[in-house]
Structure 1
Amino acid sequence: MAALLFSVPASADCTAPADLVKLQAPLPRLVAAVRESERIRIVALGSSSTWGAGASSRARAYPARLESELRTAWPKADVRVINAGVNGELARNMLARIGQQVTPHNPQLVIWQTGVNDAIRGVPLDTFRLQVRTGIERLRATGADVVLIDQQYYPGFKSVKDGPLYLAALRDTAAQFNVPVVQRFRIMQHLISSAQFTTATLLSPDQFHLNDRSYDCLGHLLAQSLRSAAALAPAGETAVTKGQARM
Structure 2
Amino acid sequence: MKIKEKFLKRQSKLNSPIPVIAFIGDSVTQGCFECFVEKDGSIETVYHPELAYSRLLLDKLLKVYDRVTPVIINAGISGDNAKGILSRLSRDVLPFKPDLTIVSTGLNDSLQENPSAYGDELKKIFSSLLDNGSEVIFLTENMMCTYVPDYLTDPILADASRRCARVQNQGMLDKYFDTAKAVASEFNIKVCDCYSIWKDMAKNGVDTTALLINGMNHPTPEMLEIFADELLKIILD
1:50 aligns with 2:60: no
Matched, 1:218 2:223: no
Distance (whole Å) between structure 1 residues aligned to residue 107 and residue 121 of structure 2: 14
User: For residue 110 of structure 1, what is the aligned residue in structure 2?
Assistant: 101
* Corresponding residue to 1:41 among 20, 28, 53: 20
Q: Is the 8 A contact 1:153 1:184 kept in 2?
A: no
Out of 181, 192, 195, the residue aligned to residue 191 of structure 2 is 181
Larger strand share, 1 or 2 = 2
Q: Is the 8 A contact 2:143 2:208 kept in 1?
A: no
Is the contact made by 1:42 and 1:110 (CA closer than 8 Å) also made in structure 2? yes
* Contact kept in structure 1, 2:102 and 2:139, CA below 8 Å: yes
Letter in 2 for 1:179: I
Give 3-state SS (helix, strand or coil) of 2:19's partner. strand
User: How far apart, in 1, do the equivalents of 2:63 and 2:209 lie?
Assistant: 30
Mapped pair 1:74 → 2:84: no
- 1:22 corresponds to: none
Q: 2-side partners of 1:97 and 1:185: how far apart?
A: 25
1:87 alignment partner, SS class: coil
1:126-182 Cα deviation digits (max 9, x unpaired): 221111111000011221100001232122243456332212111101001110111
1:208 equivalent in structure 2:
217
The structure-2 alpha-carbon separation of the partners of 1:163 and 1:193, relative to structure 1 and needing over 3 Å to count, comes to closer
After TM superposition, the structure 1 stretch with the greater mean CA deviation from structure 2, 212-221 or 141-150, is 212-221
Aligned length: 199
| Alignment of 1:138 onto 2:128 | yes
3-state DSSP of counterpart to 2:33: coil
TM-score, normalising length: structure 1:
0.73
Q: Tell me, yes or no, if the aligned pair for 2:82 and 2:109 is still in contact at 8 Å.
A: yes
**Percent identity between the two aligned chains:** 20
Matched, 1:150 2:123: no
| Change in CA separation of 1:214 and 1:174 when aligned onto 2, cut-off 3 Å | same
Structure 2: which 5+ residue stretches go unaligned?
A: 11-16, 35-46, 147-164
For 2:209 and 2:182, locate their aligned partners in 1 and report how far apart those are by CA, in whole Å: 31
For 1:201 and 1:40, locate their aligned partners in 2 and report how far apart those are by CA, in whole Å. Answer: 36
TM superposition shift of 1:218: 1.8
Partners of 1:60 and 1:216 within 8 A in 2? no
SS of match in other structure, 2:213: coil
Query: Which residues of structure 1 form unaligned runs of 5+?
Result: 1-26, 230-247
**1:97: how far off?**
1.3
Report the counterpart of residue 199 of structure 1 in structure 2.
Answer: 208
Task: Between 133-142 and 72-81, report the one with greater CA deviation.
Answer: 72-81
| TM superposition score normalised by structure 2 | 0.76
1:60 Cα deviation from its structure 2 partner: 0.7
Paired residues of 1:119 and 1:161 also in contact (CA < 8 A): no
Q: Quick check: 2:53–2:224 contact (8 Å CA) kept in 1?
A: yes
CA RMSD of aligned residues (A): 2.1
Counterpart amino acid of residue 181 in structure 2: R
Distance 1:201 1:219, change over 3 A: farther
